[in-house]
Structure 1
Amino acid sequence: MSTPKHVFWESSQKTLEKTGYRIIQKLGTGNYSKVYLIKKSNDTEFACKIIKKKFAGTDFIEKFLPREINIIAIINHPNIVRVYKILESEDTIYMIMDYCRNGDLLEYIKDQGCITEEKAKYHFKQIVDAVSYLHELDIAHRDLKCENIFLMCNNQIKLGDFGFARFCTDSFGRKVLSETFCGSAAYAAPEILKGIAYNPKMYDIWALGCILYIMITATMPFNDTNLKSMVQAQLNRSIFTVTLLWPEHSLQLKNLLISLLEPDLDQRLTIKEVKQHRWLEKENSILK
């Protein structure tokens, strides 16, 4: 007879409390994990992601989780959620990390609506800085989306959730293509939806385009209810036509969006080119 799930979670909470943390409240629930707001004895707040190996599946435990742990152990950037400690028992993993009090970008957009161009620029630059840092380390996130971008105080952005992240080179420094379908279909580049091996860094670039589009419009750039039609719209560059209907937005913004959501990999921008794009070159101090 299997042990009920609630017994596993109660045991995990007790283990966390024994290590000196107080559980304040539950922040979220996934298929095989839960996230809690916790406090240390000095009242410092953290988020703790509790992963139950029993519920996560072999592929996750043997493939994705070791990659995630290896990656979060070496990254340190002001616009990336910091993981301070990883505790592991026979059946449970605890990740103690930054608590992002203001929620994620998707929640913000759902509540506030589309973001002004100047504010979007300020936020997007921080996201680009985080992705640039990762790409310089030959790391691709592979799950960039508004739900994984978190808001801190003072309009600081932090990128989180490295469950699908991977290194883009092998032990000999050779580039490695990805074959795993990662992330959400709504943010997927056409090469992924076509099921071919893909450059994971260029997938991140496409996803950046989706994020920027959502920030500006509070809508998705492509309808993912029919993936065949979605791929066709991507290949037809339907975004170009859509942006023509935006008289209130700058030509530089439209150019950047079109260059990010470019189906031809040879024409899609690299992260270095994104950082140097004219739309981002002017310092935005409005929100500082």
Structure 2
Amino acid sequence: MAPGSSFENPLTDHPKYVTLKYLSEGSFGFVVLAKERTTGKQVAIKFMERTEGKMTKNVERELLNHSMLIHPHVVRFEECFLTDKHLAIVMEYAAGGNLFTHVTANNGLKEDHARFFFQQIIVAIDYCHKMKVSNRDIKLENTLFDSSQKGRNPLIKLCDFGYSINEENSKPKTAVGTPGYTAPEVLKSRQYDAKLADIWSAGVMLFTMLCCSYPFERKEDDDQDPRTQTKIMQRILKADYKWPSSRRVSSECKDLVSKILVVDASKRITVQGIQEHPWFQTALPGSLTSVDEYNAHYVELSKAPDLLVSRESIKSVMQEARGLQPGQAAPSDAASDPPKALDSLELDDPLDAIYEEEP
């Protein structure tokens, strides 16, 4: 749904929220900036149409996983509710835009600048993993700035848990994410460690922040050639990347990236290994000098029932969104097509998201 005269305000006469402006749209639906009528607090609200086939168990999983996360570097889940036509997901509003826009506007970042953001990203990933949640779509576009505090460096916040998985109740084995960032083991569509796949994606983010280009693309790639997508996938499967000669990157940084972009996930550096790496430790903000203690605090905070949206209320909203009566069991979601082989992947753009529902 595009903005403009045809845009139908989904919050018309809503008792709690009022729309301020349209923000964006995607295959999922659209997002508006809104505010609470009583407090004036600004929030971002994502609207998804309540049409058949869209209110799947994957949506419920997104809400349940996101709602359990309370951390300075994760966009906060506030609540969810229904309108006549939409499921509405209310989240913290990060006013500074996304990291992709920042990187492209600056034609890549200086190393110290990129490190400052990467440190926060790794701390956020570490926290999510401690909460047993793997994002599975770590990328620049899903990383937002919170620049609300004037005179202070912006906070980086992970957002969008639409592909997330909780290791306590699911074992990942389907191809999800964004191909330019996707780990080799994910492309192979076999059971994999989602935490290690997140680390690979973070490594792609670091390379891209520094070079303003993706590690597995080449200047000679022809976007009009259908074989280009397969070539990119083959490079990912071999971890075949090259540092542009025009970019000055320290040997320590290159060493860290070489330990992240490792095809054999069992040999890939862990989050703890990244945090202990000399490049990561350089100019580490004081609050993060002990990441384990820092994140342990938020893990405990995330257990406080008075700070969390109840899982029961989320399940109730999803029950109604799917047109089910209280207590009625949901029918099995229709199985998606099996993951395609590498040489048959058809992607309009190597950065387009691919998604397969979990069985």
Tell me whether the two structures share a fold, i.e. TM-score over 0.5: yes
Contact 1:193–1:227 under 8 Å retained in 2: no
| Structure 2 residues not aligned, in runs of 5+ | 148-152, 287-359
Contact 1:140–1:204 under 8 Å retained in 2: yes
Contact 2:44–2:90 under 8 Å retained in 1: yes
Contact 2:165–2:172 under 8 Å retained in 1: no
* Whole-Å separation in 2 of the counterparts to 1:115 and 1:49: 30
Residue equivalent to 1:10: 8
Aligned length: 269
- Runs ≥4 in structure 1, deviation > 6 angstroms? none
Q: 1:25 aligns with which of 13, 21, 24?
A: 21
TM-score by length of 2: 0.69
* Whole-Å separation in 2 of the counterparts to 1:283 and 1:75: 27
Contact 1:118–1:284 under 8 Å retained in 2: no
Taking a change above 3 Å as real, the CA distance of residues 10 and 243 of structure 1, as seen in their structure-2 partners, is closer
TM-score by length of 1: 0.85
How far 1:196 sits from its partner (Å)? 2.2
How far 1:234 sits from its partner (Å)? 3.1
Secondary structure at the residue paired with 2:175? coil
**What is the CA deviation profile of residues 26-78 of structure 1, one whole-angstrom value per residue up to 9, with x for unaligned ones?**
00012341100112233321111111121xx52x5222111111112211000
Q: Note the 1:136-155 alignment, pairs <5 A.
A: 136-153=130-147, 154-155=153-154
Residue equivalent to 2:79: 85
Secondary structure at the residue paired with 1:115? coil
Taking a change above 3 Å as real, the CA distance of residues 246 and 277 of structure 1, as seen in their structure-2 partners, is farther
Residue equivalent to 1:205: 199
Q: 2:109 aligns with which of 99, 109, 115?
A: 115
Q: 2:118 aligns with which of 117, 124, 127?
A: 124
Taking a change above 3 Å as real, the CA distance of residues 38 and 244 of structure 1, as seen in their structure-2 partners, is closer
Secondary structure at the residue paired with 2:262? coil
Taking a change above 3 Å as real, the CA distance of residues 247 and 282 of structure 1, as seen in their structure-2 partners, is same
Secondary structure at the residue paired with 1:210? helix
Residue equivalent to 1:173: none
Secondary structure at the residue paired with 1:65? helix
Letter of the structure 2 residue corresponding to residue 160 of structure 1:
C
Contact 2:211–2:244 under 8 Å retained in 1: no
Secondary structure at the residue paired with 1:163? coil
How far 1:247 sits from its partner (Å)? 7.4
Bigger relative CO (Cα 8 Å, ≥ 6 apart)? 2
How far 1:238 sits from its partner (Å)? 2.6
* Whole-Å separation in 2 of the counterparts to 1:182 and 1:64: 12
